[in-house]
Amino acid sequence: MSVLSQTRLTQVREVMAATGADALVVTHLPNIFYLSGFSGSNAILLVLGDVIHLFTDGRYTIQAHEEAPLARVHIVRTPLAEACGEFVRSRSSRKRMHVAFEAASLNVDAWARLKKAARRGIAWKPTTELIEGIREVKSAEELDVMRSSARLASEVIAEASDFVRPGVAELEVAAEIDYRLRHKGASGPSFETIVASGPRSALPHARPTEKRLQKNELVVLDLGAILRHYCSDLTRTVFLGRAPARIRRWYKAVEQAQEAAHDALRAGVTAGSVDRAARRVLNQHGLGPYFVHGTGHGLGIEIHERPRVGRSQKQEIRAGNVVTLEPGIYVEGVGGIRIEDEVAVHARGTEVLTTAPHGLLEL
Among 102, 170, 233, 305, binds Zn ion (CB under 5 A): 233
Q: Which of 363, 76, 123 is nearest to 243 (CA)?
A: 363
Q: What φ, ψ does residue 184 adopt, rounded to 5°?
A: -90, 5
In DSSP terms, 125 is beta-bridged to 100
Instruction: Using the minimum distance from each CB to Zn ion, give the nearer residue, 57 or 222.
Output: 222
In the complex, the smallest distance separating the C-beta of residue 47 from Zn ion, rounded to whole angstroms, is 31
Check residue 324 for interaction with Zn ion (CB under 5 A).
Answer: yes
| Site stretch for Zn ion (CB under 5 A), options 70-78, 161-169, 321-329, 354-362 | 321-329
Check residue 275 for interaction with Zn ion (CB under 5 A).
Answer: no
| Site stretch for Zn ion (CB under 5 A), options 4-12, 139-147, 210-218, 332-340 | 332-340
Instruction: Using the minimum distance from each CB to Zn ion, give the nearer residue, 176 or 233.
Output: 233
In the complex, the smallest distance separating the C-beta of residue 223 from Zn ion, rounded to whole angstroms, is 7
Instruction: Using the minimum distance from each CB to Zn ion, give the nearer residue, 102 or 340.
Output: 340
Instruction: Using the minimum distance from each CB to Zn ion, give the nearer residue, 235 or 313.
Output: 235
In the complex, the smallest distance separating the C-beta of residue 271 from Zn ion, rounded to whole angstroms, is 14
Instruction: Using the minimum distance from each CB to Zn ion, give the nearer residue, 45 or 323.
Output: 323
Give CA–CA dist 284/244, Å, rounded: 21
Give CA–CA dist 77/73, Å, rounded: 13
Among 57, 67, 170, 222, binds Zn ion (CB under 5 A): 222
Which residues in the 339-358 window bind Zn ion by CB under 5 A?
340
In the complex, the smallest distance separating the C-beta of residue 252 from Zn ion, rounded to whole angstroms, is 21
In the complex, the smallest distance separating the C-beta of residue 309 from Zn ion, rounded to whole angstroms, is 10
8 Å CB contact between 360 and 332? no
In the complex, the smallest distance separating the C-beta of residue 16 from Zn ion, rounded to whole angstroms, is 31
| Site stretch for Zn ion (CB under 5 A), options 229-237, 252-260, 272-280, 347-355 | 229-237
Strand order from edge to edge, sheet including 51-56: 72-75, 51-56, 43-48, 23-26, 97-102, 122-127
Instruction: Using the minimum distance from each CB to Zn ion, give the nearer residue, 115 or 207.
Output: 207
Instruction: Using the minimum distance from each CB to Zn ion, give the nearer residue, 67 or 233.
Output: 233
Instruction: Using the minimum distance from each CB to Zn ion, give the nearer residue, 100 or 325.
Output: 325
| Site stretch for Zn ion (CB under 5 A), options 69-77, 227-235, 240-248, 314-322 | 227-235
In the complex, the smallest distance separating the C-beta of residue 303 from Zn ion, rounded to whole angstroms, is 7
In the complex, the smallest distance separating the C-beta of residue 235 from Zn ion, rounded to whole angstroms, is 5
Give CA–CA dist 204/201, Å, rounded: 7
SS (H, E, C) the chain: CCCCCHHHHHHHHHHHHHCCCCEEEECCHHHHHHHHCCCCCCEEEEEECCEEEEEECHHHHHHHHHHCCCCEEEECCCCHHHHHHHHHHHHCCCCCEEEEEECCCCCHHHHHHHHHHHCCCEEEEEECCHHHHHHCCCCHHHHHHHHHHHHHHHHHHHCHHHHCCCCCEHHHHHHHHHHHHHHCCCCEECCCCEEEEHHHHHCCCCCCCCCECCCCCEEEEEECEEECCEECCEEEEEECCCCCHHHHHHHHHHHHHHHHHHHHCCCCCEHHHHHHHHHHHHHHCCCHHHCCCCCEEECCCCCCEEEEECCCCCCECCCCCEEEECCEEEECCCEEEECEEEEEECCCCEEECCCCCCCCEEC
Instruction: Using the minimum distance from each CB to Zn ion, give the nearer residue, 39 or 235.
Output: 235
In the complex, the smallest distance separating the C-beta of residue 340 from Zn ion, rounded to whole angstroms, is 5
Instruction: Using the minimum distance from each CB to Zn ion, give the nearer residue, 22 or 222.
Output: 222
| Site stretch for Zn ion (CB under 5 A), options 85-93, 210-218, 234-242, 328-336 | 234-242
**What number of chain residues touch Zn ion (CB under 5 A)?**
5
In the complex, the smallest distance separating the C-beta of residue 241 from Zn ion, rounded to whole angstroms, is 24
Binding residues vs Zn ion (CB under 5 A): 222, 233, 235, 324, 340
